[in-house]
Every structure is written in C-alpha cells, then in structure tokens.
A and B are shown apart, each in its own frame.
Chain A
Amino acid sequence: MSTSFSRARRRNMGIAATAVAFVVFILPFLFTFLMAVKTKKEAALFLFSWPSEWHFWANLTEVIKARNYMLLLAYFNSTVITVAAVAGLVVFGAMVGYVLQRRPSGWNRVIYAGVLMGLMVPPAVVPTIWVLQGLGLFKTIHGMVLIQVAYGLAFSVLLYRSFIGTIPRDLDEAAIIDGAKPLAIFFKVILPLLKPVTVTLIVVQSIAIFNDFTNPLYYLPGKDNVTVQLTLFNFQSQFQSQFNLLFMNILLVTIPPLLVFIFFNRQIVAGMTAGAVKG
C-alpha cells in the first residue's frame, strides 16, 4: 500500500519536475527560435506565436553577413579567449590548490585570505585598464585571456584545493619513493586524478567566459577584437531594434555553450558531487 502510494507520488513529482524544467529551460529557447525565424514586422510584436512566414535562411545569412562577417570573427576571438583562459585556469588553479593543500605553512592563511578576497572583492575597471596599458596588454587578445584567468582563478583554486583533500597522501609518497620529481608527481599522478573536478571547471568557466559581456566591452575595444556577446549590438539599440535578427544572433551564440553542456553532461554531475564531499 505504502509502496504503491510512494511510487505514484514519485511519478507525480517527476511529472511536475519535468513541467517546471520545460517552462524554465525549453520555453525560452523555443521563444528565441520562433522569434528568430519571423519577419522584422512580426518580431516587433513580441508575441509567442507561430511565424506566419518562415525566414530562417534569410535571417541566418543576414546575421552572418552583417558588418562584413563580424559574427565569424567574433566566434574565432571568443573561442581563442575561452580555450586559452580555461587551459590557464585548470593548470594554475590545480597547481596552487595542490600546494596549498599539501604543504602546510604560516603563509597558507595569508594566501587563502588572498584567494577569498579575489572571490569577493569586485574588480575596478579604470585601474585595471591602467595596469593593462602600462604592460602593453590593453586591446590585445592575450591581455583579455589574462584578465579572465585572473578573475576566475580564485574560484578554481578553491574548487581544486577541496578536491585534492580527498586524494590520499599515500599516492604522493609512493611516487616520491619511486623517485618522481615534484613536477612529475603533479602532472603524472595528481592531475589525472582531478578529472571530475576539471570537467566541472571547464564547463562552468568556459560558459561564463564565452558568455561574458562586460569584460570584453571594457577591456577589449576595437573592431577586430569583437566577441560574440558584443555582436548583439549590431541589431539592438535603445530606440530601434531588429528583433528577428537579434534573436537569430542569440540563437547562434547559444549553440557553442549548449554543445559543451551536452558533450560533458554526465561528467558534470559526477564532478559536482565529487567536489562537494569534503571542505
């Protein structure tokens, strides 16, 4: 009696959860898609309705060709920034986290406070630009990569540090007895074991960096430095927007993060629970 009750209840919960997920995740996507295939006039009505005419291909080509194929350049720039910054975050985050966890010293508290400050204190724009100008890194792609690494490092250090706490020290000691040097221990023994949390970090950070709007806006001016989120301004302004093209652009910009998410889906869940075991 009680089992059949709980089974029915579980089924109802499942249906409710699916419905909520549909409303929260699928409906906006559907709305974006429907807006993207409408004509300018129909899109300006902003209704959740079936398009009377399908303009998918015309809108798609217009968006890609806009401003001399700006979107393609933006894809390239965003991809370069995302890949380079995430690679930096994984390597440096894991290294710092490893040393912090394994080598207790008086400095640890100071370093840990610094990491926490990096997480909590918001960065100021104008002084950051002064630093970049002084180093000759302003308006360059590698300067932008360093900014993203700097902004994301605190989070990844915390994530790695807590995860490395779950890896037994015996592994390090065994490697030392076998004659491994510190770098070899880190890269050959520890880093492969960090795979679950690394996948989480890749997914979270690559989506955040790829979708970043304000940082490229301020730190990466210049026509050749455009990133995907900034291309939205081709079709949107305060007083007059071309909503069909804007939504087509949004659709195109959403696809890469979506692919990352689908590709790494299973590992993400594993990584999240793995990182949450011990603080």
Chain B
Amino acid sequence: MKLIPSAAFLSAFTLLAGLAQAETVLQVTTDGNAETVAAMEALTAAYTAANPDVTFEIENRPGGAEGDNLVKTRLATGEAGDILQYNSGSLFQALDPAKNLADLSDIQGNVIDSFKSVVTASDGTVRGVPFGAAMGGGIYYNKNIYAELGLSVPKTWDEFMANNAKIKEAGKVAVATTFGDTWTSQLFVLGDYFNVQAEVPSFAADYTANKAKYATTPAAMRGFQYLEDVFKGGYMNEDFGAAKFDDGVRMVATGEAAHYPMLTFALGNIKQNFPENLEDVGFFAQPGPSADKNGLTVWMPAGLYVPAASENIEAAKAFLAFVASVEGCELMIKTNGATGPYLIKDCALPADVPAAVADMMPYFQAGATAPALEFLSPIKGPALEQITVEVGSGIRPTAEAAALYDQDVEKQAKQLGLPNW
C-alpha cells in the first residue's frame, strides 16, 4: 500500500527533473534603445514559441562609455551571460574577441560578406551575426523647403553650398548643427569616407600602417574643410553650440532647417516624435568633389555575440542562427519597420518604406557604398568629436585640426600595439 504513492512521487519527480534539465534560460544583454528591445522581444518570443524548452531573460545596459566599461568588465569576470548585443567594427575589436567571444563561423550561411568582415577576430574566425539594419551616414533634407525654393538634390559639394546660399537668402537655417551633443559634429568628416576612398582607394590600409595621414592626404582633409566652410558661410542655426541631437532632428523634420548631417537611425526618432513629418524628410549621401564618384558611407549594424564563458553556447548559437535567417530578418522588419537594408541574403525590404530609406536604397542597388573608416581600420582617435566641434565653431583652422587629429590617433594606435607606430 505504501509503495504506490512513493513510486508515483518518484516518477513524478524524475519527470520534473527531466523537464528542468531540458529547460534552458538564456541571459541576453542589450542596450536600452526602444527599437533594440522591441526587436529582441519579438525574436525571443517567436523562438520560444517554436522551441518551448528555451526561454530568455533580457537585461538592458547603458550605452556610450559607461556601456563599454560594463561590457568589458563583465567579459573579464566571465559574467556576460549567454548572448551579448554590442557594436561591430573597431569597438568589437576592443573586446579582444578571439579570447572572449565564441566562434560563430558555422552559422554565417545567410550573412552578407561585408558584415562578416567587421566581426572577424584577429585569428580570422567570424564571431558575430548582424542585428538590425545597416545605416547610412549622409545628409537629411527637408523636402518642403527644397520644393518651395525649387532646389534639386546636390551631387557635388559645390552644388550643396550653392543650395545652402539660396536657403540662407530665403531666411531659413541651411544646416542644422547640434554641437550640444558633441558626437553629432563628426558626421561631415566620417560621412565623407566614400569620397575619400573613391579618390585614394588604399587610404584605410595605409592609414592603419601609419603611411597615410589626414593632414597629408588632401582627400581626407576635405571633411574638416567642409565643416569650416559651413561655419564661414554662416549657414548654421544660432544656437549651434548648445542644440542637441533631438533639436537637429526636429529642425529638419518640421522645416526649421533644410539639412541635417546624420546617420539614418535618426528616422526612428522622427517616427517616434514627428510621425506626421516622416514623408517630408529625404536623404542624400554626402556630396564630394565629383558627381560621378559620389556614393554612400555605410555604418554596419550592431552584432550579437556569444561570450566564450557562457554555459549554453550551443543553445545560444541555435538562437543566433535563427536571428541570422531570412525568417528572423523579416520578423525584425515587421517589428521596427525598415530603416535600412538588413545584411541577410534574400531578405527584401517592404515596398512602403519611409521616403528617406527609399532615397538611400539606390546607393545600395548601384553598389555605390563603402563602409565607414571605423569598420576598416581599428584606429579612431578618441578626441575627434572635440576637434570637429572646434573646426565647426571656427575656433581651429582645417590644417591645424587635421594635424591635431593625427596626433590623437597616434595614442590610440600605440595602445592597440599596431605595427609601424
């Protein structure tokens, strides 16, 4: 009599134990951006629906320098969880990926080659999958102002400056400038990289090898010159020193300003705060010296990585394979809309994208894109944003600024232990 219940207990217990063993909880760390969280929640929910034995815990981390410190601290102490969302390119290299991140070379079937190159560790293995859309760095313009003044999209810098002159004459702000958020000041320099490499194709390699310098390469120095030109022309808003990123977005969306040099992720901000102005905003790549060599500088999206110290590497890889599939890509588009191309083969964008994205697509279709310098070279000087603020505010002349930036870069290169420095 007494045996039966205890046997039942025993079998129930083993069943429970079996279930508990099959249950895997993956710890995910992402930045706190609303779009990142929404995409991650949609992906994990879909994955758990298909694989009920895998569940997720999503944790947010701060962005910026604080976030960099946190991620490095957690990797150093082996507490980074199972899946990590973090920048690709030079910031990815700073994580010491060959030591800290797991090898994901075998789940890259659908990933486009240009992304693989920015998440490849020093030993040649690929250690990340793309998460989110690629971004273009260029210039937003207000279509209403363009229509009102009868302007056309500029293909060269001279045309751009001519447009600015007409806009200023009409009493409007030509170039929204937001040095209150210093990082926004770098766009004219960084977004010019397509034009730089069109003229000097070997710049990234020579620059990394300490053979080319900003101050001695006229094509590269032009980015600083553009900042100075815009300041000298008086094309900026009056409060350019104090205005913030949010102000710049507002100005170009609502027609207070005609141009705003920025990355395409600002569309998310327009969508959130000015949905009725979304179709008023267009986008063009930063114009350079010649119209037939103009193209778009592209920022790669963040990647998802698996820390090497994770206890669930296989389960995490299975989930990342899902993220890097056409199905996962379509799910992200459905959640956040299309702000740019996703770097997954055969993952097409819907037809009804915002005007600025539609303006950006031809560059990709024509192959007129180049990754930004920070994805081609591990060196990016930490003080660039301060230097560009100085140039853009008329405090420091172009040549001096380029030379100063070369010095700034030297510190970074020595810290990374690059040969030739």
Contact = CB atoms under 8 A, between A and B. Distances in A.
A234 B60 contact: yes
A218 B33 contact: no
A233 B63 CA distance: 9
Contacts of B31: 237-238
Interface in A118-171: 125-126, 129-130, 133, 138-139
B34 A242 contact: yes
A236 B70 CA distance: 16
Nearest to B67: A238
25 contacts: A40-B272, A41-B273, A44-B246, A45-B250, A125-B73, A129-B77, A129-B79, A130-B77, A133-B78, A218-B70, A221-B79, A221-B81, A222-B57, A223-B27, A234-B32, A235-B32, A237-B31, A237-B32, A237-B33, A237-B63, A238-B64, A239-B265, A240-B265, A242-B34, A243-B246
B62 interface: yes
A117 interface: no
B245 interface: yes
B79 A240 contact: no
* Max chain A Cβ within 10 angstroms of own Cβ: one of B32, B34, B58, B79: B32
A240 B63 contact: no
Contacts of B59: 221-223
A213 B268 CA distance: 28
* Max chain A Cβ within 10 angstroms of own Cβ: one of B37, B79, B247: B79
Nearest to A242: B34
Contact of B60 (A130, A138, A218, A233): A233
B377 interface: no
A46 interface: yes
A217 interface: yes
Given A45-B250, A217-B66, A235-B34, 11 more contacts: A40-B273, A126-B77, A138-B79, A139-B79, A218-B73, A221-B74, A223-B27, A223-B57, A237-B36, A239-B245, A240-B268
A222 B62 CA distance: 14
B411 interface: no
B63 A238 contact: yes
Contacts of A138: 79
Contacts of B70: 217-218
Interface of B: 27, 31-37, 57-64, 66, 70, 73-74, 76-79, 81, 244-247, 250, 265-266, 268-269, 272-274
Contacts of B34: 235, 237, 240, 242
Interface string A40-62: 11001110000000000000000
* Max chain B Cβ within 10 angstroms of own Cβ: one of A138, A230, A237, A242: A237
Contacts of B36: 237
Contacts of A41: 273-274
Nearest to B63: A238
A26 to B, nearest CB: 24
A233 B61 contact: yes
Contacts of B273: 40-41, 44
Contacts, number: 82
A46 B33 contact: no
A46 B180 CA distance: 13
A145 to B, nearest CB: 19
Contacts of A242: 34, 272
A227 to B, nearest CB: 13
Nearest to A236: B32
A233 to B, nearest CB: 4
A138 B73 CA distance: 13
B363 to A, nearest CB: 22
Contacts of B74: 221
A129 B78 CA distance: 10
Contacts of A238: 31, 33, 63-64
Given A221-B79, A233-B60, A46 B73 contact: no
A234 B269 CA distance: 16
Nearest to B33: A237
A278 to B, nearest CB: 42
A133 B78 CA distance: 10
Given A138-B79, A240-B269, A126 B73 contact: yes
Interface string A216-230: 011001111000001
Contacts of A233: 32, 60-62
A239 B73 contact: no
Interface in A77-130: 125-126, 129-130
A133 B77 contact: yes
Nearest to B66: A217
Contacts of B37: 67
B33 A239 contact: yes
Contacts of A243: 246
3 A-B pairs with the lowest CB-CB distances in the bound complex, closest first: A238-B63, A233-B32, A237-B33
A253 B73 CA distance: 27
A239 B33 CA distance: 8
Contacts of B274: 41
Interface string A224-261: 10000010011111111111000000000000000000
Contacts of B61: 233
Nearest to A132: B77
* Max chain B Cβ within 10 angstroms of own Cβ: one of A46, A133, A230, A240: A240
A42 to B, nearest CB: 9
Contacts of B73: 125-126, 129, 218
A46 B244 contact: yes
Contacts of B66: 217
A243 B272 CA distance: 11
A57 to B, nearest CB: 21
